[in-house]
């Protein structure tokens, strides 16, 4: 059933879930910003540590293999479930072209692998991989915002309202 055809209690449930999840996602991004300054050298410092007497007031230590496994395990599972839920809701949006819908549903799962694979590569292979973490993290965030925004638009559009895609195809 398309999102716009759901009963009001279902729309309120999904809207509440998406909004609260978005607050949680934003808090997570704020934490990443505080830990890394959203810069490749910040990512490197977070996982490789900083030399003694480094540039910051806080000491930064290299993450042990055990710490990396716990970090990667928690984030891979948690983000996979987040994107399963968001993608599942988004898959019911009738006003989105199938190709765009497929791209937006699959992309975050690829980005999860490249983001956290990049973190592991940064820690264990070379600091140069921190750029992959930046690019794939941005891609994941853009997919999240797009899916949530389009889902909310679809949930609350007026019955019978016609939406047009950039390709000119109309959706009811």
What pLDDT, on the 0 to 100 scale, is given for residue 158?
Answer: 78
Task: Please give the chain's pLDDT, 172 residues, in tens.
Answer: 899 999 999 999 999 999 999 999 999 999 999 999 999 999 999 999 987 655 556 778 999 999 999 999 999 999 999 999 999 999 999 989 999 999 999 999 999 999 999 999 999 999 999 999 999 999 999 999 999 999 999 999 876 665 555 555 555 5
* Token pair in block for residue 172: 């009811």
Residue 40, pLDDT score: 94
Q: What is the pLDDT of residue 141?
A: 98
Q: What is the pLDDT of residue 143?
A: 98
Angstrom distance (rounded) from CA 111 to CA 114? 5
Alpha carbon distances (Å) from 117 to 61, 75, 141: 20, 11, 17
In sequence order, the 6+-apart residues with CB closer than 8 A to the CB of 98 are none
Residues pairing with 171 in the sheet: 163
What's the pLDDT at 47? 94
- Domain spans, the chain: 3-159
Residue 60: per-residue pLDDT: 84
Angle (CA) 81-86-92 rounded to 5° is 130
Asked if 97 and 169 touch (Cβ cutoff 8 Å), the reply is yes
């Amino acid at each position: 059933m398309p999102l716009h055809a759901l009963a009001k209690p279902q729309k309120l449930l999904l809207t509440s879930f998406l909004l609260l999840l978005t607050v949680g996602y934003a808090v997570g991004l704020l934490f990443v910003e505080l830990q890394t300054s959203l810069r490749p050298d910040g990512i490197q410092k977070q996982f490789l540590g900083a030399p003694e007497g480094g540039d910051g007031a806080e000491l930064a230590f290299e993450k042990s293999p055990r710490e990396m496994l716990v970090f990667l395990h928690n984030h891979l599972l948690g983000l996979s479930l987040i994107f399963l839920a968001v993608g599942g809701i988004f898959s019911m949006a009738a006003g989105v072209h199938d190709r765009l819908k497929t791209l937006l549903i699959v992309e975050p799962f690829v980005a999860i692998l490249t983001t956290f694979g990049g973190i592991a590569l940064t820690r264990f292979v070379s600091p140069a991989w921190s750029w992959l973490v930046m690019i794939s993290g941005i891609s994941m965030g853009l997919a999240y915002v797009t899916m949530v925004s389009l889902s909310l638009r679809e949930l609350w559009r007026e019955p019978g309202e016609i939406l047009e895609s950039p390709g000119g195809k109309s959706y009811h």
